[in-house]
A and B are shown apart, each in its own frame.
Chain A
Amino acid sequence: MHDEVTQPKIVLIGNPNVGKSVLFNVLTGSYTTVSNYPGTSVEVSRGRCRIADRTYEVLDTPGMYSLMPITEEERVARKILLDDRPHILLHVVDARNIERMLPMTLQLIEAGQPLILVVNILDEAERLGMKFDLPQLQKNLGIPVVGTVMKRRQGLDDLQRIISSYQGPPPPAEPYAADLEADIVRLAGFLTAEYPLGARATAILLMQRDQEVEELVQREEGDGFPLIAPVLHSIKFSRRADLNLQISLERKRHTRKMLDGALSQEVADQLPFSERLSRLAMNPITGVPLLLLVLYFGLYQFVGNFGAGILVDFLEGTLFEEYINPAAISFLNGLTDTYWLRELLAGEYGLWTLGVRYAIALILPIVGTFFLVFSILEDTGYFPRLAMLVDRVFKQIGLSGRAVIPMVLGFGCDTMATMVTRTLETKRERVIATILLALAIPCSAQLGVILGLLSVVPGSLMVWLLVMIGVFLLIGFLSAKVLPGDNPVFYMEIPPMRLPQLRNVLVKTLTRMQSYFLEILPLFLVASVILWAGKMSGLLDVVVEGMTPVVTALGLPPQASAAFIFGFFRRDFGAAGLYDLQTAGLLSPTQLTVAAVTLTLFVPCIAQLLMMKKERGLKTALAIFFFVSLLAFSTGWALNKFLLTTGILS
């Protein structure tokens, strides 16, 4: 036991999947133990190694992305740094992604940690055309740097030599921009206790609102904290909008400086295809046409024409209509002579006719094709680039690129996307995103049905698209003007672009289809029962009659009321109702376009309404509900008048 206490510690730290565990195993051999970090379920590996006649205790920490923890793993990794006071800290980075990982090295230097940088996976980086001058990097950083290919034990001797001759903590960190540096120095000057991460790094974490560090400072400073609190509050307030962005940009600037002369890459025209595509996707001049191509081939051709057209025609028109429905309806009708029960099972709004048929024959092929495209795009890493691309436009409507996450997810399901709006930074941004999701983002099934229906009418899809984009931008712009608050700042690390992996895409698509189907089938069945009960009691006729003046004011046939009522249960249910109207030949091109626009803008479904109430409160949810309803019908009415007057779709 005494031996353990006196042994110097080597702690391994770094992002996940950079080869830390391989290095740990290489250093320690088989003498290791794995145990949960006290009070957590996070596993930490410990072992021993002997280097130049000295025994070290070696700890392999969970992966972390920065000194500011978000997950429990990162919290444990930082706690090890704070509590275990390593003799040597090995920061392991993946050479291929060194530019993304070096900011943490700079943070560790800032924190005065006894640091050695291990640039691992050098072989694959060199294969990608990256050429490292590690002595230059060592000179730039002021800490020992060793290049390794740990799976082949390449660089192990050098690493052991550097460990055995390690001289001490790194030099002082480089200053940030003058104004930021002044705040850091001012705050650090108030910190009188001795902090494991040093006064400078502690001050920066305080400014970044790190709760744990603030509690630590309160404890350590005791009676002195009331002197620090107003200074801290004033810095936090004056830098509330962009502190994290500024720190991130400063670290990126330092990273580039550190890599200057230490890393050379092949010239731009020899960059890997993925890197060139990545740049094209984020550049507005090339990114917008690329986005249009993705929408055209991914959504219009594949989801709209193939999923909602060919697949639905086959499933609904051939398989169900000709083979399954006659047998199923005959079987269900044979079960009973009771009229109401027959209606419930296989009548106009029956469980089979409406619930099962809509879910399997109409919605499933559409969401299946949508989720396939979605998973492919997701697996390539396109979405973060889309976020960067639309950030400038989104800023005009009070949102930031971060809002791409709920918006993109909204095309899958608006209810879940409404919940994800909680990740947006400001209340204003959350409210605007909630309004836009309720209004102008159709869910995948609704989108698929609408694309499928409108693509057969020349010009109709273009009118629908222009109205949707116009309403999205106009309402977003007006909301941003009306709602007070700061403009959000968005930044994110862009992960590498990659070829989609077939297994990933298939598993993600099937998982999404499975959960979607299990979610909608019971809801469709319940909606069928409610509609059936409404029909049997006559209540449905009353509601349809009540809606008829509104629907006819839009120039639609009275039967369209049912689609709107369906739409309140589920957006996709309403879209399926529209499909039935169209296939029954009840809608002219103008009526079809007006119905599609109104139904897309129409009130959020019950589930989304409940989620809005949960996330934004009852008052805001009801306000959005009534606003969206009014706007949907007003837009439908105006569009009908416009199309009839101009005769565009006649």
Chain B
Amino acid sequence: MICGFCSKEIPDEVGLNSCGGCGSRCRKIHCPYCGYANPAPGKLLGRLLQPKKKKEES
């Protein structure tokens, strides 16, 4: 995922583990470089977001 603020690539491993800080169930990925809260799409929306990449990988 590319951070919506600094445009740096957020490693997959950062994932949702970095969130949960506010106790709500928001799905957000905080960029490790700038701290910006990026929306983390669920499975269905996530698939829509990166179909091309997956095809290339396979």
Contacts and interface: CB of A to CB of B under 8 A. Distances in A.
Given A41-B13, A518-B25, A607-B24, A511 B6 contact: no
Contact of B5 (A72, A384, A504, A507): A384
Interface in B1-45: 4-11, 13-14, 21-28, 30, 32-37, 39-42, 45
B33 A511 contact: no
Contacts of A71: 10-11, 13-14, 32-33
A70 interface: yes
A556 B33 CA distance: 47
Interface string A548-581: 0000000000000000000000000000000000
A171 interface: no
Contacts of A418: 22
A518 B24 CA distance: 10
Given A71-B11, A73-B11, A65 B28 contact: no
Contacts of B40: 511
A409 B4 CA distance: 12
Given A65-B33, A611-B22, A495 B39 contact: no
Contact of A420 (B25, B35, B39): B35
Given A405-B34, A511-B27, A419 B22 contact: yes
Contacts of B36: 405, 409, 420
Contacts of B22: 415-416, 418-419, 607, 611
B9 A420 contact: no
A17 B56 CA distance: 14
Interface in A373-431: 378-379, 381, 383-384, 402, 405, 409, 413, 415-416, 418-420, 422-423
A519 B25 contact: yes
Contacts of A519: 24-26
Contacts of B7: 381, 384, 495-496
Contacts of B8: 16, 65, 495
Contact of A378 (B5, B23, B26, B27): B5
A492 interface: yes
A518 to B, nearest CB: 6
Contact of A72 (B4, B13, B26, B39): B13
Interface string A328-365: 00000000000000000000000000000000000000
A415 B26 CA distance: 11
Interface in A509-541: 510-512, 514-516, 518-519
* Interface SS majority for chain B: loop
Contact of B21 (A378, A419, A508): A419
Interface residue range, chain A: 35 or more
Given A17-B9, A519-B26, A70 B4 contact: no
B28 A515 contact: yes
B11 A62 contact: yes
A649 interface: no
Contacts of A508: 4, 39, 41
A72 B12 CA distance: 11
Contacts, number: 104
Nearest to A41: B13
A496 B2 CA distance: 13
A81 to B, nearest CB: 18
A420 B37 contact: yes
Contact of B41 (A381, A409, A511): A511
A557 B42 CA distance: 45
A547 interface: no
Contacts of A378: 4-5
Contact of A495 (B6, B14, B28, B49): B6
Contact of B23 (A383, A516, A610): A610
Contacts of A419: 21-22
B11 to A, nearest CB: 5
A492 B34 contact: yes
A53 interface: no
B5 A383 contact: yes
Contacts of B32: 70-71
Contact of B45 (A379, A495, A511): A511
A63 interface: yes
Interface in A488-515: 492-493, 495-496, 503-504, 506-508, 510-512, 514-515
B45 to A, nearest CB: 5
A311 B9 CA distance: 36
A628 B30 CA distance: 28
B11 A514 contact: no
Given A65-B33, A71-B14, A405-B34, A416 B4 contact: no
A384 B11 contact: no
Contacts of B34: 402, 405, 423, 492
Contact of A405 (B25, B26, B35): B35
Interface of A: 15-17, 41-42, 62-63, 65, 70-73, 378-379, 381, 383-384, 402, 405, 409, 413, 415-416, 418-420, 422-423, 492-493, 495-496, 503-504, 506-508, 510-512, 514-516, 518-519, 607, 610-611
8 contacts: A71-B32, A73-B13, A495-B8, A503-B49, A511-B39, A515-B28, A519-B24, A611-B23
Interface of B: 4-11, 13-14, 21-28, 30, 32-37, 39-42, 45-46, 48-49
8 tightest A-B CB contacts, nearest first = A423-B35, A495-B7, A16-B9, A511-B39, A378-B4, A511-B41, A507-B49, A515-B26
Given A416-B24, A423-B34, A512-B39, 13 more contacts: A42-B11, A62-B11, A65-B33, A71-B32, A73-B13, A378-B4, A384-B6, A405-B5, A413-B26, A420-B35, A420-B37, A511-B27, A511-B41
